[in-house]
């Protein structure tokens, strides 16, 4: 036979403290930049490299996303797109997420489903940028994303691909 009355003062103080902490965390996030702006920065810093024989100089963001998702499987010259990834690198994961809009775990799950249903081959993963660059340079049709153009400035086996916006670019899932 408890008494019902106003909540104790301590619980109100705890509730206020929790609200204040959430407010401070929100303000810090707003001042430091949102996760989306970090992904945008990663996408801007990313450099797309392709095998030197690819006859394409520029792709749109939409085309690049479609290539990464296996929805565009061939280059303009009918070479098969061969996707290569830099594994276990947080910066590379952020660049991947900026390109495809999926976390690395979601991206891997997406590709496992495509492979299981016979709609594609799992992208190759490499532990270092040097291995990734060497694979792209040796594999016709290969495509990869690396951190900076300086990583390939002296490598004639790969070409840096320009990525731009299309006038009527639509998002596609």
In DSSP terms, which residues pair with 144 in a beta bridge?
Answer: 49
The residue to which tokens 């006859």 are assigned: 55
Rg (CA), the chain: 23
List per-residue pLDDT tens for the chain, 173 residues long: 555 665 555 554 555 445 444 544 443 433 344 444 444 454 556 789 999 999 888 999 999 999 999 999 999 999 999 999 998 788 889 999 999 999 999 999 999 999 999 998 999 999 988 899 999 999 999 999 988 776 677 778 898 888 887 655 454 44
**pLDDT of 57:** 87
**pLDDT of 62:** 94
**Is 0.75 topped by the overall pTM?**
no
Give the separation between CA 173 and CA 171, rounded to whole angstroms: 7
Phi first, then psi, for residue 81 (nearest 5°) are: -75, 125
SS3 label, residue 167: coil
Give the separation between CA 129 and CA 84, rounded to whole angstroms: 11
Give 44-89 pLDDT, tens digit per residue: 567 899 999 998 889 999 999 999 999 999 999 999 999 999 987 8
Residue 82: name the closest of 121, 48, 128 by CA. Answer: 121
The length of the chain in residues reads 173
Give the separation between CA 58 and CA 164, rounded to whole angstroms: 7
Residue 64: name the closest of 41, 46, 77, 52 by CA. Answer: 46
What is the maximum alpha-carbon separation in the chain? Answer: 84
Give the separation between CA 43 and CA 37, rounded to whole angstroms: 10
**pLDDT of 89:** 84
Taking the mean position of all CA atoms in its chain, how far away is CA 69?
11
Question: Beta strands 82-86 and 58-60: pairing type?
Answer: unpaired
């Amino acid at each position: 036979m408890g008494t019902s009355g106003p909540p104790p003062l301590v619980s109100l103080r705890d509730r206020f403290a929790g609200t204040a902490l959430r407010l401070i965390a929100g303000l810090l996030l707003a001042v430091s930049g949102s996760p989306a702006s970090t992904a945008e920065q990663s996408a801007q810093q990313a450099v797309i490299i392709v095998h030197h024989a690819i006859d394409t100089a520029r792709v749109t963001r939409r085309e690049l996303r479609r290539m990464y998702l296996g929805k565009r499987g061939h280059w303009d010259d009918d070479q098969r797109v061969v996707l290569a990834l830099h594994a276990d690198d947080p910066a590379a994961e952020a660049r991947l997420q900026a390109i495809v809009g999926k976390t690395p775990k979601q991206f891997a799950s997406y590709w496992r489903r495509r492979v299981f249903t016979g709609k594609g081959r799992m992208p190759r993963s490499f532990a270092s940028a040097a291995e990734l660059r060497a694979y792209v340079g040796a594999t016709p049709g290969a495509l990869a994303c690396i951190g900076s153009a300086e990583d390939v400035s002296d490598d004639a086996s790969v070409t840096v691909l320009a990525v731009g916006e299309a006038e009527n670019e639509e998002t596609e899932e």
